[in-house]
A and B are shown apart, each in its own frame.
Chain A
């Protein structure tokens, strides 16, 4: 068995009478030749690493360029003051996404999901929820199965497919995970993934000075919030008119046709603004010294 399409996973679910996450678990057991217990132990360690990363955030660290750091703490304090326009959950999601993505930019330990640049999205939607062990397993296997399908059919690297492939994929993983833990069906997971991807389609990868800092940290926020909306829509019974595998395919095509300036080369978009170029020059001057 392979994780080459969402349809394949749905078929396995029907054939074997398994939940989405159980199909992914079975795949891992087969692929790495481990026992289900070993597989679960490893994914729970991954979860622990995400939690540790969140707990280690202080807001004190700054990135090597000095562009990034401290915003997650600003958001946390704003939320604590009760000033957020959003409810408790979504405002916590935003603070968590900023904190985790900043931790990455500031050389703290994180879990790539699916990449380091997009590491804040998935933990941001999960950590504020009080999940039991079963829900953690449901969420993480579902998310990694979705990411594997997108990696096989399209791309998960900004250098290949733009930010839609990185933050877009992270958002789709997070959306599917949320539907899974709320008891949604496989079809609903598929719709959430499709909607999350569709809403970020075309997003370019344009990191200032080529560093995973600007706009990456804040893009984790849109990835996470988009995931929550897509999951809620799917749970409300709203469907994607374009089937999920076709959406993934389309995202891959958009990525392949994306000009090279918008694929992590730091030659276009925000990287090519006067301010973006100034940061690059400053970094290069430092390099010459």
Chain B
């Protein structure tokens, strides 16, 4: 156990699950989208739908999409901020079978024609879990640095990426592979112990058979107070 899970996180209230976790989900979606979000359709399930407005879950999700971390003082004003930054969003309710009570689905289009469909839940204490990406089941938490790689399902793509990471001195903590059908597009989620540098991610991006890569850099191990106002 990390004692800073007891004394922390430093966050904008009122709820670590409904506010801090929601901001992390939004931030994760922005990161995995890989560009500035332009239009977002946000669907809330379970307790997120029922008590989300009172907990600022909606604002926190939009704030996260705008790049705000859970301690960002602009979260309560995320709707106004979205207008300023040109993000169009809609928020409604959805019923998902067998989903965690605090779950959101974010369907977002970004600059340069990017698109992401992500389902994620807030597990408590601000911790989150991404459950689905573009219709494919996944599970990762953002507790590690995370590479999300779309590749052609050809022999060798996995070995090539992990081999290169190894050469870069990057340790793979967890890895999941999913594909829609044999020989089609596949999705690789790789969690690493070390941070990757931008040019290293870029290098992987240009490998043969890689369709797209997004990289989530684990939240820094500080108090995150860079947003002091």
Chain A positions near chain B (C-beta within 8 angstroms):
2-3, 24, 27-28, 31-32, 42-43, 45-46, 48-49, 52, 63-65, 103-117, 119, 140-141, 143-145, 147-148, 151-152, 156-157, 159, 173, 209-213, 266, 283-284, 286-287
Contact = CB atoms under 8 A, between A and B. Distances in A.
A213 B3 CA distance: 26
A147 B6 contact: yes
Contacts of B111: none
A113 B93 CA distance: 31
B15 to A, nearest CB: 5
Contacts of A104: 13-14
A144 B14 contact: no
Interface in B1-27: 1-16, 19-20
A112 B8 contact: yes
Nearest to B59: A107
Contacts, number: 147
A3 B1 contact: yes
Contacts of A112: 7-11, 16, 20, 125-126
A115 B223 contact: no
Contacts of A109: 10-13, 71, 73
B154 interface: no
A85 to B, nearest CB: 30
Given A108-B12, A116-B16, 13 more contacts: A3-B1, A42-B223, A46-B8, A105-B13, A108-B73, A111-B9, A112-B7, A112-B10, A112-B126, A113-B8, A114-B6, A148-B3, A212-B13
B222 interface: yes
A116 B6 contact: no
Interface residues of B, number: 39
Interface of B: 1-16, 19-20, 47, 49-51, 53-56, 59, 71, 73, 75-76, 124-126, 221-223, 225, 228
B223 A211 contact: no
A64 to B, nearest CB: 5
B75 A107 contact: yes
